[in-house]
Amino acid sequence: MTVEEFRKTALALPDVEERAHMGHPDFRVAGRIFATLAIPTTAAAP
């Protein structure tokens, strides 16, 4: 599942809002976080 697919699915749920927590997108219902997206970064090869 891609980030955009997850975002679309999460936002389709009732009362969900997207915000941010520690620089990462999160998804909340009634102010409570139920998912956070941690977008992976690629490390430089040694």
Q: Which of 26, 20, 32, 31 is nearest to 6 (CA)?
A: 26
The stretch 4-20 carries a mean pLDDT of 96
The pLDDT-based confidence of 46 (bands split at 50, 70, 90) is low
Residue type, 32: R
pLDDT, tens digit, 9 for 90 and up, residues 20-45: 988 889 999 999 999 998 876 665 55
Domain definitions of the chain by residue range? 3-36
pTM of full prediction above 0.85? no
The pLDDT-based confidence of 12 (bands split at 50, 70, 90) is very high
* CA of residue 27 relative to chain centroid, distance: 6
pLDDT of the residue at 15: 97
Decide if pLDDT at 5 tops 70: yes
